[in-house]
Each structure stands twice: as C-alpha cells, then as structure tokens.
Structure 1
C-alpha cells in the first residue's frame, strides 16, 4: 500500500500474549478467545446468605504459552478480581520458573488492596530458550480466608486435553419462587488447540431442589468436545420451601492437570409476593415484551432501547431497584448495557450478528427481589443475500475500549471483469466502500462496507443484495497496519440468505499480509475455500 494511503489511518502501541506446557500436563491456551470470561456473566445473588463480609479472590488456575519458538517472547494476562464483600489485601505475587511478572497498569507494582468488585491485571512473560516443555507457578498471597495462597500453573509447548469450567465459583440460582423451575448452566470449554477433551457428570448431591436438566448428563454420559468447542451443562433448581438450598455437582474429565472438578450449587426458595420483572425492547423493526420471557429480532449495528418500567410489585408497592445483566452475547464482541438516563432504562448496541440475552431483576420498596429475572432474547439476523463479517484479536492489544489497535481490512472482489485486489471498481474495501456493480446506476445491487475499523478488534461487514448470476465473489483480508502491536488472528464469517454458511476462525496474519479466504459462487450459493496467506496482495 502506498505512503499516501497510509496517511489515512492512525498508528498506536501496546503489549503481547501466547503460551506452553509440561509433557504430562494439559493446558488451556488463553489466546484462544472463542470463549472468555467476558463471554459469560452470572448475576450476583442478592439473598442474605451471600453477604458474609469476606474478601474473595477470583483468578485463573493456569496460563498457557503454546508453540513458543526459541528466542521468542510471549505474554499472558492474569486478572485478579475481588468478588467478595470486603477489602482484599494483596500481600505478595511471586513466580517460579523461567517466567517474569509485569504490571502494565501500575509502574510501581501491584496496589496493596482491591475493593469489592475491583481488579488488577498482572502480565506474565516467557522467553523460550528451546522448544522443550517448561512449567512454573505463579503464587498470589491474599487475606482470602478460604484460600490464602492461590496458585496459577504456568505451562508450555504441548497440547493435551484441557477443560475450562465456568463459573469459577458457585453456580448461583438466586431467589426462586417455590415450585417454579429455574435453569442455569455450567459452561465447559475445551481449551486445547488441537485435541479432543472429554467431560462427564460424576455425581450430584445436596439437600434437594437441584437436578440435571439433560437425562444424558444425569446418567453420566460422556461429552466429547472438539478443540475450542464450548458446551453448556444445564441444571435446574426447583425449590419447594422458603429456605436456602445448597448442593454440589462433581465432574470428571481427561484434563490431566485437573481431572476432577466440584461446583457448589446455591439457591433459595423465595417467600411469596415477589415483585415481577418485565422487559420492553424497541428497535428499528418494532418492539417486544418479556414478561417474564420474550424474543426480539434486531438488525446488526442497530442500538435497541430497553425498559423495565413495566415491572410490578405486590400490594401496590413501587419498584425501586433495577438489576440489569447482559447474560449472553456473541463471543467476538465486548458490548455492554449502558444506562439511558434512568436505572429503569438501558441501551444495547447489536455489534455482531448473533444472540444477545438480557436479564432483569427488580426490587420493591421493602427490599424484596424478584423471584426470577425477566429474560429477553435478542437475535440479530442479516437480511442481505451476502453478508461477510470480519473480526480479529491482537494478543498485544489488551484493551478493547481505547482508541488504539491494529488495522485489518475486509475485501470483497467481483471476479470476471479484469479487477484486481485493492483496486476500484471491482474490489469493495475501505477506499471503495460502495462501488457501482451490477446494473449501471442502480443502487440496490451494489455492495457496501458499513464500518472501516482502524483501532482493533472489528467488526467490518460487507453486504450485497441481488448478486449477479454466474459470478464469483472473492473474500479476502489484508493486514493494513499492526501499529506496533504485532500479529493478529482474524475470523471471517460468511452468511448467505441470512444463514451462516462458513466460519473460519483465528487465522494468524502479520503486518501487510493478505489472507485469501475463498470464493462465493452465485447463484449456487456455494463457497470454495482457499485459505491462503500471501506477502501482500496477490495477482489474479
């Protein structure tokens, strides 16, 4: 790309992430962002038994540095979070093995304490001397009464079965109306890069009220997870009395580091007369209600308005508190709910095609919380004949909410008229966003690039209606500038007629490389995959 073209895009800087493992231990590569902690939210239970006034540390149990070449240095992030209800004192953080600690948020090291809800980022770096397996341990000492010393395994250069299980702490069902079943799920992810991981339910115990939602799990049948795959293991809580319930589910897997897991189950049977939460949503295509369940179809890139003002409390009491939770969102987005001038009103930006789930609990004037949340499922679906989506992650760019990052560009080339990549009029990209294709002068058959994202992560989308018969449309990705952040991992999804037809995840590309994804063939609506990487734009 020419120097003149480079003047149109900003430049930036930041830090790096990737990993390794010992020969008989398994690991979970944390650079795989198919599922992350940001993908899974558990509403805080407001029941009295939770307010024990104790600090509690939440942190990963392992960091993996996979496929680190000799003399290459990689970084991993460990976020330390105080999920308790009192100050968490950070007494010390140490590391054993050929690893080093870094504190990107604090020049003078860690802060002395974390208030409830606060977190701090610790980075661990590893410079490989060889390609042999290496292991170490990071120790975090705090005043957490349940576990004064938390160990994080540091592992490298192997790929064995690996299981990541969320939530890390108890699975909380909250306060539930007696006789009403409420479902929550464990999220199990195969954090291996290449091999399968097996997991099954060993035992469910407790004082009643809890059950496995699927008969297969109740019977201990094995689930086989492909590399990077995530499954939900649903559980049901049905209280029959107004009291606290506790239980425990035990899971086994072929993860050699942690073959056995236990998850505590916590729920409470509610007294009668809980307030009733309701969600209203309005977007470009109209509105919908969740009382307590509802669904809404939105458009990609629109912002929907959410209201809880339809919620009601018993005996004519007012609703005085609103607890909103974005319980689910597409894995490659970090969007969140934002208040719209009042706690009862929220906005949500539908950044990507996919499923968003919003939950709402309400509290009445006497402090009684709704027995169950209102739950609105928002599906976004493209109505275009061809919709191509690009997102990417850059390990050294650890912040999504700033104005700096790598610049990766999406290209859609109409083949057959002598066009070249990165040239008008037949390549639709950031310098040629809405070219005139199809019938000259008509606009309904022209492609369009809706966003040129120059600060990392994406998305970038190209849409095309009324594709021409007998034409190939070539899909490509160009790494315009890494802005000092290094390699990126690009994911492309192709939707035809509103349905996902191809997903190619996390293709590694470096500065100024071009990834030729494949061809869309019309009207057959078939895709020919190429998956080739070039040093610059290839000739046709």
Structure 2
C-alpha cells in the first residue's frame, strides 16, 4: 500500500489524480487528517480476479419420453485472472459432459468453455434439477443453474386388434377397429384375430373375444372360446350381433380400444317366421333336456296338424313353398319357417303347439314375423302348457299386413 501526500493541491488536480489512478488499476482513498493539515491519500492497487458468467436457468423445452436431449451451456470468464472450475455437479435426471475438458478446468480471461448438459425423462409431466458450478470466483464460488424440461405427450401406442370375418357365400369383412358383414339366420361366420399387429414392432401374444350384443332371446357362444385366435359364431336368430376383440403384446400391454365386428342376420325370404321360448324350470340352456314347442305355418287350404298344407316338423318342406329350416326339441329354440314366394291373395296362418314339457312345466313362447327382411310384428311371452295350441296371427299377401288372432286352444285344433 502506497501513501501519496497531496498537500494543498488545487481541487482540480486532486480529481485528475483520482481518475488517473482508477484507470490504472488502483484506488486512491483519503486518509483521516487533522484540521488544517495537508491531505494524504492511500493508494490501493487492484488485485487481478476471475469472474464467472453463467446463466441462471436452462430450459430444455419439450422432451420426448425415453430419448436423451442435449443442451449447451457456456461458461465465460469476464475477469482479469484465470478462472478455475473445480467441479460441475447435476441432479437427476440431468447429466453433464465436459466435451473435452478435465477437472480442474482453466478458463483464461475473456475466454469461454462450452459444457454439454443432457436430460432423459421416461414419463411424468416434466423434470426439474440443478447444475452446481464450483470455481475460484471470489464473489461466486458456487453458482447454481436451475434446469427444467417438459415431457412431450405422445399419442398412446397400443397393440392393434383386427377382426377378419368370412362366410363362404356372404363374403368377407375386416374390422380395424370397426367392420360389418351381412348374413342370414343360421349362417356360421368364421372369425380370425391373426391379422392383429403391434405398431411398435413387437408380437401379439394373447387375444380375448367377447359377444357384446345379440338379438333378444339369443344366447349364442363362440365355438372355440374367448382366447382362441380363430373362432366361429352361429347366427341362430335374425338381428344384430356385435363381436369385440382385444389383444395383448409381448410387453403385457392391452389394446387401447377393441375391434368391433357387426354381424347382421337379415332374413332373405319374403316371409320369415321365428319361434323362441323359455321355460323357467329349465335351468340349463345348452343341455339335451328341455321342453319342445313346434312352429306351424298353415296354407289357407289346410288344417292345423294336417299334411300337406301345414308346415311343421312332420311336414318340413311342403310342395306349396314353405320350409322349416331348424327343429329344436331340447328347449329354447329357435325354430324358423321361411316362405320365399307367397301367393298373392292368400292369408297364411301362424301357430305354436306345446308338444312336450318333459316334466319342466309351463313355457313362454315368443313369435316374430319378418316381411321382406324387416321385423313386421312380434308376439311376446305367451304362457303355454303342454298340449296347448296358440293361433298367433294371419299374414296377408302381398300386402304383408298381419292380423293378430292370439287364440289359445287346449289341444291341437
């Protein structure tokens, strides 16, 4: 420390001395003097010091999950002496790479050094962390840099279920996710999940089928069960069926949404008549034991239960054009009679006979009449006892008008 005695120099000279000393890297500070004595100043020469210049915050922006993103941070020495970086420390999920430097790292005055930071986020909303810089900067020996990153929300990637439906006469359809195939009552539709795929390149390892919709009174099941890659569905009743398929990939991930195949059983006869029934004491639908109800369609020239003009199980295909396509004798039904070319000017009778209860008691019969593929009328849950005959309705042709009768006789009239 040097002392400069100025004595009684003019004020202007003193100011010049102060400014000159400051420009040369020293300070001139007045000493305490007694009153009336000459001024004396102490001269302080500046020591050379490093200065760290670094950001307060670094934002990595949007980061795709599972990918590593890099960001460069510049450390600059704005001082007059070498800047020594003793250490760089980051908190997870961030990382740091020196890019060619070892610790301690020396940055000369006026020079800078690029530090590469990285971040890798697997999931969540985002990430926050810190970069700690330890240096010989006397004013900032440990500098903290706040690090932030936001996770990019990607569309959900799921295994893709695909249903392929086929009938040898009706054609083919594909559901990805939705599809439709039109058939007819009593068609058997082949179903396949083999075209399902993993959009990420993996394998499909498991499937699950489900029938989520079928006509009222229907209770069909897939022939091979819910976990088979191929299946078959029997369209026993006219109406709509919807089959859904879910799949799993080799990472155990389930499809985000199912494939849905709509199967529509449309009667292709001009007149289609359907009988179903339920017997409360028949608790098992799929066994071989059940009540037996029979559907009848009568030509106006005939009588119930008499061949050749009554179409029923003993006369399934009379010459006048009616046809019984299925006769169920073990409960529930269905039984269907079709008439492809009804004669104009005729009225056809529709009836039901409770042939045998087999010890199961009363049953409830439902008849649906389709005209040109459309449900024209429905007669629901008529209670019947063994031996009774129910004259349901008469169908007039070609109008298709249906006259309800709904007479129940104690025996076959």
Query: TM class by shorter-chain length?
Result: 0.5 to 0.7
Please tell me whether residue 429 in structure 1 is matched to residue 312 in structure 2: yes
C-alpha distance 277-340 of structure 1, shift in aligned 2 (>3 A): same
Structure with the bigger percentage of strand: 2
Q: Which residue of 2 aligns with 1:317?
A: 202
Q: Which residue of 2 aligns with 1:409?
A: 294
CA contact (8 A) 2:277 2:333 kept: yes
CA contact (8 A) 2:296 2:312 kept: yes
CA contact (8 A) 1:242 1:271 kept: no
Query: Paired residue for 1:381, among 258, 266, 281?
Result: 266
SS in 1 for 2:359: coil
Please tell me whether residue 399 in structure 1 is matched to residue 274 in structure 2: no
How far apart, CA to CA, are the structure 2 residues paired with 1:349 and 1:394? Answer: 22
How far apart, CA to CA, are the structure 1 residues paired with 2:260 and 2:285? Answer: 27
Deviations 1:150-208 (A, max 9, x none): xxxxxxxxxxxxxxxxxxxxxxxxxxxxxxxxxxxxxxxxxxxxxxxxxxxxxxxxxxx
Q: Which residue of 1 aligns with 2:22?
A: none
How far apart, CA to CA, are the structure 1 residues paired with 2:204 and 2:227? Answer: 13
Deviations 1:126-155 (A, max 9, x none): xxxxxxxxxxxxxxxxxxxxxxxxxxxxxx
C-alpha distance 312-242 of structure 1, shift in aligned 2 (>3 A): farther
How far apart, CA to CA, are the structure 2 residues paired with 1:461 and 1:519? Answer: 16
CA contact (8 A) 1:242 1:270 kept: no
Q: Which residue of 2 aligns with 1:303?
A: 188
Q: Which residue of 2 aligns with 1:477?
A: 352
CA contact (8 A) 1:282 1:304 kept: yes
Deviations 1:361-381 (A, max 9, x none): 111111111110001111110
CA contact (8 A) 2:391 2:405 kept: yes
- How many residue pairs align between the two structures? 263
Q: Which residue of 2 aligns with 1:275?
A: 159
Query: Paired residue for 2:244, among 336, 359, 376?
Result: 359
Deviations 1:509-536 (A, max 9, x none): 1010000001001111101100110111
Deviations 1:427-482 (A, max 9, x none): 00000000111xxxxxxxx1100111110000000000111111110000000111
Please tell me whether residue 487 in structure 1 is matched to residue 372 in structure 2: no
* TM-score, scaled to structure 1: 0.47
SS in 1 for 2:298: strand
Pairwise CA RMSD: 2.0
Q: CA deviation at 1:290?
A: 0.4
CA contact (8 A) 1:280 1:289 kept: yes
Q: CA deviation at 1:342?
A: 7.8
Q: Which stretches in structure 1 are left out of the alignment for 5+ residues?
A: 1-240, 244-268, 438-445
SS in 2 for 1:434: coil
Greater relative contact order structure (CA < 8 Å, 6+ sep): 1
Q: Which stretches in structure 2 are left out of the alignment for 5+ residues?
A: 1-122, 126-152
Pairwise mapping of residues 212-231 of structure 1 onto structure 2 (< 5 A)? none
CA contact (8 A) 1:480 1:512 kept: yes
Q: CA deviation at 1:242?
A: 8.8
Q: Which residue of 2 aligns with 1:528?
A: 403
* TM-score, scaled to structure 2: 0.62
SS in 1 for 2:233: strand
Q: CA deviation at 1:315?
A: 2.5
